[in-house]
Chain A
Amino acid sequence: MSLARRHGPGATAAGAALLLLAPASAHAHLVTTGLGPLYDGIGHLLASPEDLVPVMAMALLAGLGGAPSGRWALFVLPLAWAAGGLAGYRVGAPSSPALLGAASFLALGILVAVGRSLSPGAVAGLAGVLGLLHGWLNGAGIAAAGREALALAGITAAVFVIMALVAGLVVSLRAPWTRIAVRVAGSWVAATGLLMLGWILSGRG
C-alpha cells in the first residue's frame, strides 16, 4: 500500500520534502560581490539558475492564474523563502540542491505547460512550499560557508522583485500567442527538469 493511500497526499508531500532535504554533499555557493552580504544574496539568486528558474517558473504560473494568484504568490514566496532560509541557517544541514532543483523544474514546468489556472490558494500553497524548500537550502548553505545571514535578505528581496516583474508581465499579456509562449517556456523548464533528474539518477553529474 502506498504512502499516499495510507496517510494521504500531505504525508507524501512531507516525505518528498524530507527526501529532498536529506543531508548530502554540499554544492551551495554564494557570489562575492564585494558590496556586502546583502548584495551577495542578490547576486546569488541572479547567478544561480537552480534558484532563479524555479522562481521565474513560479511567477509564470502565478501570472497565468491572474492578478489574485499573482498577488498571493508575490508575498507568500519571498516570506516563505525568508522563513525557510532562517530555519535552514539555524538548524539545517547542507543538502543536495540538484535533486530539489530537478523536482522544482519538473513540477512547476508541467503546471505552466498544461496552462490550467489554479486557484489563488493553490498557487499560494505551491509558492509557500517552493520558498520553504529553496530558502532552507540557501540558509543551510550560507551557514555552512560561514557567511552572514543578511545574505538571506538580499535573496528574499531579489525573489520579490523577480516575482513582481515576471508575474506582472504575464498578468498583463492579452494576445493569445503570448500566453502560449509562456506555456512553451513552461514545457522547456519541465524538459530541463526531467533531463536533470535522469542525469542525477544515472550518477553522471
Chain B
Amino acid sequence: MRRPGTLVLLLLIAAAPAFAHQQEGQAAGFLNGLKHPVTGLDHVLAMVSVGMWGAQLGPPALWLLPVTFPLVMALGGFLGLLGVPLPGVEVAIGFSALLLGLMVAREARPPLWAAAALVGFFALFHGHAHGTELPVGESALLYSLGFVLATGGLHATGIGIGLVHRWGWGRVALRVTGAAVALAGCAFVWRAVW
C-alpha cells in the first residue's frame, strides 16, 4: 500500500455517516460532547499548550504527552461522574494554563517522566471539572466519543502550531505564545481564588 494516509482519510470520511441513523437526540449527544472541551478558554489554552510543549520537546514526549492527557483526563472525568470530590479544581485548572504556558515560554526540558507527571496531574483536574459538568440523559458513548475527539483535536492543534519550532522565528513565536498563555493562566488563578 503506497499511500496509507489516503486510505485512512477515506475511512474516516466513510465512517462519518455512521452516526446519522442514531435514535433521536443521540447525534446531538455527539455534537455536545464535541463542543464541551472547546467552550472554556482555560481548558482550551491548557490543552493546546500540551501539544505545543510536546512539539518543542520532540519525540518521545511529542506522543507521550497527548497520550497521557486524555487517559488521565478520562480518569478525572470518571471520578467526577461518580461524585468523588477533588479539592481546588478551578485553581488547579488556572495553574495548569500558567505552568504549561511557562514551560512553553521557557522551552523547559525536564526529564520525560516529570513532563508526563505534570501533564497528567493537571489532566486529572480538567477531567474532574468536565466530569461533574456532563449533562444527564445524553448518550454516554456518543458524548464521550465527541468529548475525547475534541480534546485530541486541541492537542493536535497545539502540535500543529508547535511545528513552527523548526524555524528560528518560530521558536521565538512559540515562546511568546507560551508567555501569553501563562499570563492568561494568572488571570484564571486570580479569578478562581478571588
Contact = CB atoms under 8 A, between A and B. Distances in A.
B18 A52 contact: yes
12 contacts: A47-B17, A113-B67, A187-B66, A191-B74, A194-B75, A195-B77, A195-B81, A196-B144, A198-B80, A198-B131, A199-B134, A204-B81
A20 B42 CA distance: 38
Contacts of B113: none
Contacts of B4: 169, 172-173, 178
A205 B74 contact: no
Interface string B108-142: 00000000000000000000000100111111111
A77 B4 CA distance: 23
Interface string B2-37: 001001100100010111111100000000000000
A76 B19 CA distance: 27
A205 B21 contact: no
Given A52-B15, A184-B152, A202-B82, A191 B140 contact: no
Contact of A188 (B70, B134, B139): B70
B85 interface: no
Interface in A11-53: 29, 31, 43, 46-50, 52-53
B22 A199 contact: no
The secondary-structure label for the interface of chain A is: helix
Given A169-B4, A204-B134, A192 B81 contact: no
B160 interface: no
A192 to B, nearest CB: 5
A47 B21 contact: yes
Contacts of B79: 198
A166 interface: yes
Nearest to A45: B18
A101 B82 CA distance: 19
B89 interface: no
A193 B75 CA distance: 10
A200 interface: yes
A180 interface: yes
A89 B150 CA distance: 37
B71 interface: yes
B170 interface: no
Contacts of B23: 29
Contacts of A178: 4
A47 B19 contact: yes
Given A50-B141, A188-B70, A201-B82, A194 B77 contact: yes
